[in-house]
Structure 1
């Protein structure tokens, strides 16, 4: 029943913050929330390029969890800001291990949504012995079919007016390869050109992640202070296939055997449609796939929040 749905935990401030030098000239911002010494967890934000937000801390019972959140390379408060140098999936996986060692955890729960699910799976398949459980949302496997859905054909059929605006920002003779065309605009010497391209790029993504029209969310994504960085980093990852071999995360899913997991997937997620969650379930049969019938992409939607909070409670041994 929708009236019984769980909501986010109350607002919480970090009990510790810091910067960790991880090599290659990068320094990672991190913060810890909850109870020191409680069940360890790591939270992976989306994007790529978005950075962490205060609301993301609230998906865990602070009395039962000790949660590390961090801004990935080039994101948020990490430095150098918006840098694409030495910024790949596998650099971030290595950063996670350095953060785990810094925290002194032997294993931790890995929690990530959207691009955060891609990183969660990449990390867990590289270091399965370091993962106690996984909570994932809006599965994105970095396959060409998923990139095409967003940037070639798919979501375009659901939001034709927004798609035409997204494509129309690029010169007509460049519209056959939007990723490369936007890369050039986002790297343009003129800051106004970069800003306009970022606004168009981020608005298109903002439209696909909102189940119902949320102009405030879309506008913040398009014009926020991190808009150019978010667009540049995301474009960088998409142009490089998220630095994954085609189908890699499905091919290596056998490495997840023995790791308990929950996937919370919105039925009407237009950014990361349910097909990828379903495909992952076929090769990771023990995962609990929960498709939310009235859910989209964002963790703040009522049905998605309910599933995520219940999953984190469950793995902390808290009864519903």
Structure 2
């Protein structure tokens, strides 16, 4: 197993008022004079985690973690409001946070949904990005969303029958349930959605068991945000992220993916690498969506190399 860096404590955390009634929780760790890097969590709505800091050499990096609108320690929580919560808002928040922290340019890294956000941000503000390191590549196309919440059902027909609402668009139908005024309806929908998320990962080593679980506030926020974003395909034109990848020319990029990823098929990573001049695509033939020793080692190596 590649050795990650010891967990180091964050310093100088805060809640940044980004407007629209939202305050974004952020924290920094590592060397205050080190190379700036921002970590974009997945989900949407997953929130940041302390272990994300362990990928960076604390002597060489100034690491910025944040909770995107509506999740983690950001306010208001998605369990109470989805107002002014779109991809455009999240991109604008990143620029406000960068400016607030006095950072001119930073390395951007993320995984799964965090990949989409990283790419959209970098395509709009390439002059603010030094390097990009992303894993479990997703660009939030409707075709990708349809695969994850319909196509994968071919592998798990009994679980798909349990998850599907029989609607023309199950994701939109779940989004409506998550907006229902009855908390019992929201709880049942969140539990079913969370079970499906675990089903899709269930073939991978170390995956959590597939079982019915009570939902908490974090799960409710995750499901409400995920269905909100995916029902709208991230408010992105179909294929726009890959079509705009030429804007990333000159930005060193490392794309890390598992060939057996059922959540995000490797074809998206390959298409992105083909459209992004100079990007390096690394595919682990023996892993899926979750982290693996091989992929973790590749990410550590890329971040060490970019630290300078």
Tell whether the structures are fold-level matches, with TM greater than 0.5. yes
Shift of 1:212: 2.1
Give CA-to-partner distance per residue, 1:193-222, whole Å, 9 cap, x none: 211110111221233245526464766997
Cα distance between partner residues in 2 of 1:139 and 1:230: 19
Counterparts in 2 of 1:210 and 1:36: CA distance versus 1, 3 Å? farther
Q: Where do 1:143-222 residues align within 5 Å?
A: 143-153=141-151, 155-167=152-164, 170=165, 174-209=166-201, 211-212=203-204, 214=206, 216=208
2:2 is aligned with 1:9: no
Aligned to 1:255: 247
Counterparts in 2 of 1:303 and 1:160: CA distance versus 1, 3 Å? farther
2:122 is aligned with 1:131: no
Q: Where do 1:19-38 residues align within 5 Å?
A: 19-38=15-34
Cα distance between partner residues in 1 of 2:220 and 2:268: 28
- Unmatched tracts of structure 2, length 5 or more: none
Moved more, 189-198 or 124-133: 189-198
Q: What is the TM-score normalised by the length of structure 2?
A: 0.94
Between the two proteins, the alignment pairs up a number of residues equal to 306
CA RMSD of aligned residues (A): 1.8
- Unmatched tracts of structure 1, length 5 or more: none
Cα distance between partner residues in 2 of 1:39 and 1:22: 24
Match of 1:306 among 289, 297, 306: 297
Counterparts in 2 of 1:306 and 1:219: CA distance versus 1, 3 Å? farther
Counterparts in 2 of 1:296 and 1:103: CA distance versus 1, 3 Å? same
2:282 is aligned with 1:285: no
Counterparts in 2 of 1:137 and 1:98: CA distance versus 1, 3 Å? same
Q: What is the TM-score normalised by the length of structure 1?
A: 0.91
Cα distance between partner residues in 1 of 2:157 and 2:4: 34
